[in-house]
Amino acid sequence: MRVSQSFIPTHKESPTDAEVISHKLMVRAGMIRKLAAGIYSVLPLGLKVLRKVENIIREEMNRIGGLETFLPSIQPAELWQESGRWDFYGKELLRIKDRHGREFCYGPTHEEVITDLVRKEIKSYKQLPLMFYQIQTKFRDEVRPRFGIMRGREFMMKDAYSFHTDENCAKETYEKTKVAYSNVFKRCGLDFRMVEADSGTIGGSFSHEFSVLAESGEDAIGYCESCSYASNLEKTESQVPLDIGESELSAELEKVDTPNKKTITEVTDFLEVSPKNLVKTIIFQTEKELVAALVRGDHEINPVKLKNLIDCSVLESASPEVIEKTTNIPCGFIGPSGLGLKVYADLSIPLMKNFIVGGNEKDTHLRGVQPDRDFKIEKSGDIRLAKENDPCPKCSDGKIQIKRGIEVGHIFILGKKYSSALKANYLDPNGKSLPMEMGCYGIGVGRTAAAAIEQNHDEKGIIWPTPLAPFQVIILPVNYADEQTKEASDLAYQKLWDKGIETLLDDRKDRIGVKFKDADLIGVPLQLIFGPKNLKENQVEVKIRKTGESQLHPFPEILDRIEEILAPL
RNA sequence: CGGGGCAUAGCGCAGCCUGGCUAGCGCACCUGCUUUGGGAGCAGGGGGUCCCAGGUUCAAAUCCUGGUGCCCCGACCA
């Protein structure tokens, strides 16, 4: 490709609405343009990168027996009503009507469609297992799209669905997919972790996420510094702290005045005690009622764990207005004793003694509080957010460390949720009709490309891992108007394409400085710089984008060694 | 959905507070000449629904009301 005949509209400045580096650089490098909130046009250079990611995914999915399909993005409401998700999915589901007033949605995911296909076509255990996949745009009407292509509303996704006769078979495929996904992200040149994840409302038995480590990541990852344990922080298991059960406070229950002291810090400073002597009471709203959750003063609630403990389908933090109206207690002074709500407690709470809680009236706290004696716990379990340096739940001596990550892939076992709802049954060898076991597996294509930029850039621009680079080599003639330079550049361009190396020739009339800036910005791994002085000596400069290293090589002999130079990049 | 902010040329911004002259700057773009190893110089030029609607006024980018779009923080989220 010649730059003069291509369309790579680069910018010196980042758009003001871009927050993260990948968004800024993708816009500046002429890869994407925004059309509306969370909706982007992909330009030729951007598409080349997405296609690289897609092809890597395709190869790895095909290798484990995935069958590529292409499912409709517009899906009938009936199918979603049948699975129960038409009502459940909420506002994220973009609903539309056709000319006859029939309801449809723009697919945010494809469990319904694929299960419908399978239930109509697959009848026998002899036809199973099967795994279908597709690469296609999804639409999820996110409340707050941001970070460019990383969290858009319309986005490219590879989704796969597997169907099995039994759970063991599903697990086998799940394990194969783990390997395939690891290969995909390795081949993309990413530093990633496979982490345990919450399977959430999907209801499956287990789930893993593939998370690319980056400061800008929206997820927190808790991992053990000494063993292989790694999990999404919302899933990271917490142990009872070693210092639990100690208390320097008296066991006698007493009311204390805490005028206007609402926060943990205010109360502990005022009473001159450690936050470890306090128990926080946080009020949540479920689909049925208000509930109270307890954790130690220096801990935080993990809503995902709490939701699992309560076993409810909706869990939101209650607003101060609702809390005060329902309980008649001002926020900041709520405690479990005589509260009148169900109390769910972290597993450390029953082991604590003589602690301080809200007094359930204005400007009052209680001290010397003990579980059972002073309040009743509905249910206790692990509901706190893991903290850095918590003991590892899997090994004896490790401590939990926390890093941020970008979720680029997520796999889970679905069980029979969709096959039961949509009656996707097969006949077993005894002629008995049974619902299929299912698994589902997703990779965000655009997000993977963006994550690659988050991990591979410098102040000059993108530094593509070679497998994702839109071009492997860029030819930069110092002055394309110079006859000898032009001749050499054209020759190199021709020869490299003959070898199958994707090469970009910057044949513009601009000064070399402009070409350098653009080449650095769009992140082509290898730059070949042709200038009249070096050419007189039959030499060409070969520069590596990533390191900035540059060497003179004999021309045209060097053209035969380009693959060799590219290989380690 | 709650809180905050922004909207002026393709991009980045100034002007608005305190209404008034042809709405301005940098980059980008067009023409010509010069230049060619890290975003060139000179000269000339094109491009505006100042987000939309209404109001106040002799006069509105500027003040007022309403709307829309976008961004940020939070809540939410496979």
The C-alpha atoms of residue A309 and residue A303 are separated, in whole angstroms, by 10
Neighbours of A72 (CB within 10 A): 12
**Are the beta carbons of A269 and A247 closer than 8 angstroms?**
no
Structure tokens at A258: 């805490």
| Cross-strand partners of A427 | A124, A433
**Domain A471-566, second-level architecture:** 3-Layer(aba) Sandwich (3.40)
pLDDT computed for residue A441 by the predictor? 96
The predicted pLDDT at position A204 comes to: 55
A147 CB-to-strand B distance under 7 Å: yes
- Among chain A residues 379 through 438, which have CB within 7 angstroms of nucleic chain B? 407-410
What is the predicted pLDDT for the residue at A409?
Answer: 94
A465-487 confidence digits (pLDDT tens): 999 999 999 999 999 999 999 99
Report residue A168 as tokens. Answer: 């063991």
Instruction: For residue A454, give both structure tokens.
Output: 């988050």
pLDDT at A461: 95
CA–CA distance, A382 with A305 (Å, rounded to integer): 7
CATH class of A254-381: alpha beta
Write out pLDDT tens, residues A292-314: 899 998 888 888 888 888 888 77
Cα separation, A175 vs A173, in Å, equals 5
- CA closest to C1' of B12 belongs to A13
Distance (Å) from CA A511 to C1' B35?
Answer: 9
**A200 in contact with nucleic chain B (CB within 7 A):** yes
* Class level of CATH domain A3-236+402-453: alpha beta
Q: Which amino acid is at A209?
A: E
Helix A21-28 vs helix A445-455: angle between axes, to the nearest 10 degrees? 100
Q: How far from chain centre, in Å, is Cα A340? A: 39
Tokens read off for A555 = 């021309």
Spanning CA of A19 to C1' of B17, the rounded length in angstroms is 30
Strand partners, A222: A231, A402
Q: What is the mean pLDDT of chain A?
A: 91
Nucleotide with the nearest C1' to A531 CA: B37
Three-state DSSP class for A389? coil
A120 CB-near residues (< 8 Å, 6+ apart)? none
φ/ψ (deg, to 5) at A408: -105, -20
Residues 329-388 of A with CB under 7 A from strand B: none
Q: What pLDDT is attached to residue A202?
A: 53
The structural domains of chain A, with segments of one domain joined by +, span 3-236+402-453, 254-381, 471-566
Give the Cα separation of A271 and A278 in Å (integer): 11
For A341-355, what is each residue's pLDDT tens digit? 889 999 889 999 899
pLDDT at residue A505 is higher than 90:
yes
Q: Which nucleotide is nearest to A481 (CA to C1')?
A: B36
Strand B bases, protein C-beta under 7 A: 1, 11-13, 26-27, 35-40, 69-78
Strand partners, A146: A151
Q: Tell me whether the CATH fold assigned to A3-236+402-453 matches the one assigned to A254-381.
A: no
Determine if strand B comes within 7 Å of the CB of A209.
yes
Residue A71 predicted with pLDDT over 80: yes
How many Å from the CA of A145 to C1' of B76?
12
Give chain A residues 521-550 with Cβ within 7 A of strand B: 521, 529-534, 541, 543, 550
Average pLDDT of span A367-373: 90
Task: Give the best-scoring range by mean pLDDT among A61-75, A277-291, A400-414.
Answer: A61-75
Residues 4-33 of A with CB under 7 A from strand B: 10-17, 19, 28
Q: What is the pLDDT of residue A66?
A: 97
Furthest C-alpha separation in chain A: 95
Higher pLDDT, A34 or A115: A115
pLDDT band at A205 (very low <50, low <70, confident <90, very high): low
pLDDT in tens, A506-562: 999 999 999 999 999 999 999 999 999 999 999 999 999 999 999 999 999 999 999
C-alpha count within 13 angstroms, C-beta hemisphere, residue A411: 23
